[in-house]
């Protein structure tokens, strides 16, 4: 005879598995069609359920859409919140870039869903922005502290984060173009190459010359890597023109 707790546990696991199927199906449907174009019938088909069965697991299409958006903003917020104040700026920024790119590589549909929502006017996500922004104040203060201590070149912390988001988001929103141009229409993208170049671009933007560890070195054209990560802040230097030599007058 089965133990009641074991039966309940198995039923709970089945439900969690189905809810995850529904969530993934919803992400694909919303990413392709947006909220207005998506249908519960389409979500049900992607999840392998009948439409009546789907409504057993969700309150409404709109509620499911909002939940997916909330989960996405929470995940992105966690990436920023993990920025370690004890790390050198180059290491902390490089890690944020790498993690955000990994999210774009692994979850392109989620990233595109968010972009589509913003382009449609951010009707549903707007109410979460104030809370999300408030939670990122510490990250902005940390970046400003790096500027104040001369560890990075002067940047606007908020705009700096916008730039990181824009560049990393490109590899999800424009995945088809990236694959075509990089001749990787099948299989995985060259993550190491992309991560190397984006990281170097972002760090140069805040005045840091950076060499990655040898194992993270980009192929081919990448410069030789030092045994460990190093970074230096470029500072403007005054240059003095060499003294002009005067010829002795002859005559």
* DSSP letter for each residue of 78-113: HHHHT--TTS-HHHHHHHHHHHHHHHHHH-HHHHHH
Token readout for 69 is 């958006």
Average pLDDT of the residues in 16-27 = 91
Q: Put residue 150 in one of left, alpha, beta given phi > 0 → left and psi -120 to 50 → alpha.
A: left
CATH class given for the domain over 68-233: mainly alpha
CATH 1.10.10.60 range(s) for the chain read 10-58
Our CA angle for 104, 108, 109, nearest 5°, is 145
Where exactly does CATH 1.10.357.10 map onto the chain?
68-233
Over the Cα atoms of the chain, what is R_g?
25
Cα–Cα distance, 111 to 170 (Å, whole number): 9
Query: Is the model's pLDDT at 110 over the cut of 60?
Result: yes
Q: Which residue spans within the chain are E strands per DSSP?
A: 208-211, 230-233
What tokens were used for 11? 């039923």
Give residue 10's pLDDT: 83
Which CATH number is 10-58's, of 3.20.20.70, 3.40.50.2300, 1.10.10.60, 2.40.50.140? 1.10.10.60
What is the residue-wise DSSP string for 12-24? HHHHHHHHHHHHH
Each residue of 173-225: pLDDT tens digit? 999 999 999 998 888 899 999 999 999 999 999 999 877 665 444 454 444 34
**Is the pLDDT reported for residue 76 higher than 90?**
no
Contact 222, 166 (CB under 8 A): no
Helix (H, G, I), strand (E, B) or coil at 155: coil
pLDDT in tens, 29-74: 999 999 999 999 999 999 999 999 998 888 899 999 999 888 888 8
Share of the chain above pLDDT 70, in %: 81
Total-model pTM: 0.75
pLDDT at residue 89 in the model: 95
């Amino acid at each position: 005879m089965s133990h009641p707790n074991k039966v309940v546990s198995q039923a709970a696991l089945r439900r969690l598995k189905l809810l995850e199927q529904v969530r993934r199906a919803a992400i694909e449907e919303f990413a392709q069609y947006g909220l207005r174009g998506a249908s519960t019938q389409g979500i049900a088909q992607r999840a392998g359920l009948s439409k009546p069965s789907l409504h057993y697991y969700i309150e409404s299409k709109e509620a499911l859409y909002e939940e997916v958006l909330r989960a996405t903003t929470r995940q992105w917020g966690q990436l920023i919140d993990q920025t370690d104040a004890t790390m050198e700026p180059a290491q902390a920024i490089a890690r944020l870039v790498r993690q955000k790119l990994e999210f774009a590589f692994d979850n392109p549909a989620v990233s595109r869903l968010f972009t589509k929502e913003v382009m449609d006017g951010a009707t549903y996500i707007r109410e979460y922005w104030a809370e999300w922004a408030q939670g990122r104040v510490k990250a902005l203060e940390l970046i400003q502290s790096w500027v104040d201590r001369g560890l990075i070149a002067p940047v606007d912390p908020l705009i700096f984060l916008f730039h990181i988001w824009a560049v990393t988001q490109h590899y999800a929103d424009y995945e088809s173009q990236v694959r075509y141009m990089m001749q990787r229409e099948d299989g995985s993208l060259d993550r190491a190459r992309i991560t190397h170049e984006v990281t170097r671009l972002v760090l140069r933007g805040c005045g840091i010359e950076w060499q990655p560890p040898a194992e993270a070195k980009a192929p081919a054209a990448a410069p030789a890597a030092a045994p460990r990560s190093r970074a230096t802040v470029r500072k403007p230097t005054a240059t003095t023109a060499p003294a002009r030599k005067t010829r002795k007058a002859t005559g």
